Amino acid sequence: MKLKPAADNEIERVVEELERGKSRPKSGDFLHGFPWKSTRWYQAVLEYTEFENLFLFWTGSAWDEIGHMLPRRLKDGVASFVRIDLLQSDNIHLKEVKHWLSKCEVGEFRYSDPFFILGGQDQDSRLVILDGNHRAVAILWWMSRGENWGKTPLVGWLGLSPDMGEYQPYRRVLQVG
């Protein structure tokens, strides 16, 4: 993973995007207890294996999968994404994700544009997707079709804090074997 420190205006954009995420259905105040003061922000470029092994923030309940409460890696969310796409064709958020994905398919999305926000304790720790879970799953699904590897942006914002283990949603990721 390559990291570049985020500028102040980029950090403001990250905070705004995370705050906007609280207004999505089933989101609530998912930032309660987030270690804002000790978090340092970076732009991160990930390799494919790093990307597919990111942890999804939401439990299965947010993806309408009752009984699947443990955190899952991104690669495990692809089947859920395909199922939700088939069953919820009127889902507004999924329509937005598919529109974003169509921009990737025609090369309108610039490689330098981050499309997800991650959190972790340090660069080598497990990383959880704080924002962009559906987009990340969609891009992994798109990449799995083979012809899209070279056009795929794997760029996100990464917040690192030694205090991340105190943030309840991240603590769940640490419990996974």
pLDDT in tens, 93-143: 677 777 777 776 776 665 556 779 999 999 999 999 999 887 888 788 777
What is the model's pTM? 0.83
Strand partners, 160: 40, 120
Strand partners, 3: 44
* Position 69 confidence tier, pLDDT thresholds 50, 70, 90: low
Which residues in 48-71 are b (16+ Cβ under 10 Å) and which e?
A: eeebbebbbbbbbebbebeeeeeb
pLDDT in tens, 38-67: 999 999 999 888 988 899 887 655 555 555
